Amino acid sequence: MQLSITHAPLIAQGVAANMAGLDQSISRDVGLLDYSRLSDMMLQAWSPFQKGFFDGVFLGDRENFAELNDAIDELAETYGVTPTGIAVAWITRHPANIQVVLGTTKPNRVTDAAAGSSVPLTRHEWYRLFTAAGHVLP
Ligand SMILES: NC(=O)c1ccc[n+]([C@@H]2O[C@H](COP(=O)([O-])OP(=O)(O)OC[C@H]3O[C@@H](n4cnc5c(N)ncnc54)[C@H](OP(=O)(O)O)[C@@H]3O)[C@@H](O)[C@H]2O)c1
């Protein structure tokens, strides 16, 4: 499934379920995340750094994601990893145990991503990234 902090209907829908008039509330995958957890089925996240559908990466895009990049940079410093690592940590910290599929051609980005996969973001930090990306937290 396509999944990044900024393209996260898979996760964001359930956070704002049942809210009339709110786009985030619309289910586009018929409960796939819940089904995968109940069935012990591992999901894989592709385009983990893309803003949307091949729109480019959100990392460093301060024009559109200033608050998100501020939060990512701050957490990267806190945990001694790169922003790439924090973008990965946001996915791997989710209890569904999601695997991240990287598209990079740079070995150092693979190393950075792997380092982030074990960063234990707190719930507060995880939701801070979630809201900084523009998602609604009722
Ligand atoms: N099943 C499907 O429908 C589907 C759809 C899309 C993709 N996929 C699979 O999933 C894989 C991953 O998807 P993706 O390639 O979209 O993932 P991605 O890892 O989010 O994006 C990779 C692209 O982002 C660039 N990039 C990463 N970090 C960057 C940064 N900090 N600054 C600038 N550029 C950065 C990479 O450039 P560098 O090479 O310079 O790092 C590369 O061009 C694909 O290779 C493909 O195998 C499957």
Which pLDDT belongs to residue 2?
97
Residues 6+ apart with CB under 8 A from 72: 59, 83, 86, 87, 129
Using DSSP's 3-state secondary structure scheme, residue 37 falls into helix
Residue nearest to atom 12 of ligand 1 (CA): 103
Cβ of 69 less than 6 Å from ligand 1: no
Residue with tokens 């709110």: 22
| CATH homologous superfamily, domain 9-132 | NADP-dependent oxidoreductase domain (3.20.20.100)
Query: How far apart, in whole angstroms, are the C-alpha atoms of residue 28 and residue 53?
Result: 15
- CA torsion, points 119, 124, 130, 134, in degrees to nearest 10? -140
Which pLDDT belongs to residue 1?
96
Which pLDDT belongs to residue 54?
85
pLDDT tens digit sequence for 42-76: 999 999 999 998 889 999 999 999 999 999 999 99
Domain boundaries, the chain: 9-132
Residue nearest to atom 42 of ligand 1 (CA): 104
Residue nearest to atom 45 of ligand 1 (CA): 103
Pick out the chain residues at pLDDT < 70: none
Q: Which helix (H) or strand (E) holds 101?
A: strand 99-101
Cβ of 6 less than 6 Å from ligand 1: no
Cβ of 62 less than 6 Å from ligand 1: no
Residue nearest to atom 41 of ligand 1 (CA): 104
Query: How far apart, in whole angstroms, are the C-alpha atoms of residue 108 and residue 2?
Result: 23
Using DSSP's 3-state secondary structure scheme, residue 44 falls into strand
